[in-house]
Amino acid sequence: MDDILNKIAICVQTGKTDKVSPYPPDMKGQDGADELTRQALEEGKRPDEILENALIPAMAVVGDRFSRKEIYVPQMLMAAKAMNSAMKHLKPFFQSGETKRKGKFIIGTVAGDLHDIGKNLVSMMIEGGGWEVIDLGVDVGTEKFLRAIEENPGAVIGLSALLTTTMENMKKTVSSLKEMHSGIRILVGGAPVTKEYCDKIGADFYSPDPQGAVNYLKQLVV
């Protein structure tokens, strides 16, 4: 991996947010994900390259370490904070698609679920793809999705779930949305979600990644 991308990945894996961050102690005083991402962009690295080759693989490492009980929730939080400090530099690039808005996309992480990194990535990429994104945030109950669709008729809905326990809430939300708005299109994603689950709960499309979500929306606009 390219040197600067490797450094960014290490910062995310270790939770090194920025230069002034005292964590982790052995990296005190060194640049963090914040400064290095800005530097990488200044050096001409593409935002999607930084995302695909440094940030996403680094978070995958964090997830594997957590699964093996080599790290715990506080370290995961620090990694997420470092990732967000890098993402704030990438966001304007993904959002600056000069294309005319293609439609509205309402996205949220389902009730009971606080994970938002993947949802934010999907949101950024879709905004970059020319859609107006209404991001309802995390822990979003069915009522809030229903209100949002009533305020934005015709919008496509995106639901993210990262916990096997909250997949059940995804099912409830899909069912209520479909019952109240029969023509609505719902896209689902998140680590435990599968195409089979999408079909089972009556959602319209499953994407394992942001690009798949962008492609799905693209083919809706002809």
Closest CA to 19 of 6, 10, 28, 7: 28
What are the backbone dihedrals phi and psi of residue 55, each rounded to the nearest 5 degrees, phi first? -70, -50
Task: Specify the residue, 121 or 177, whose C-beta has the smaller distance to ligand B1M.
Answer: 121
Sorted by sequence, the CB contacts under 8 Å of residue 184 that are 6+ apart come out as 149, 156, 157, 177, 178
Distance between CA atoms of residues 199 and 71, nearest Å: 35
Binding to ligand B1M by CB under 6 A, coded x per residue (else -) over 146-185, reads ------------xxx-xxxx--------------------
Interacting span for ligand B1M (CB under 6 A) from 10-18, 27-35, 177-185, 190-198:
190-198
Task: Kindly state whether residue 187 participates in binding ligand B1M, applying the rule CB under 6 A.
Answer: yes
Binding to ligand B1M by CB under 6 A, coded x per residue (else -) over 78-117, reads --x--------------------------x----xxxxxx
Binding test (CB under 6 A) with ligand B1M, winner from 3, 25, 67, 196: 67
Cis before residue 24, ω within 30 degrees of 0? yes
CB of 54 to ligand B1M, least distance (A): 12
Binding test (CB under 6 A) with ligand B1M, winner from 13, 21, 53, 207: 207
* Host H or E run for residue 206: strand 205-206
First to last CA, the chain: 39
Are 188 and 203 contacting, i.e. CB atoms less than 8 angstroms apart?
yes
Task: Kindly state whether residue 53 participates in binding ligand B1M, applying the rule CB under 6 A.
Answer: no
User: Which residues lie near ligand B1M (CB under 6 A)?
Assistant: 56, 59, 62-63, 66-67, 73, 76-77, 80, 107, 112-119, 121-122, 158-160, 162-165, 187-192, 207, 209-210, 213
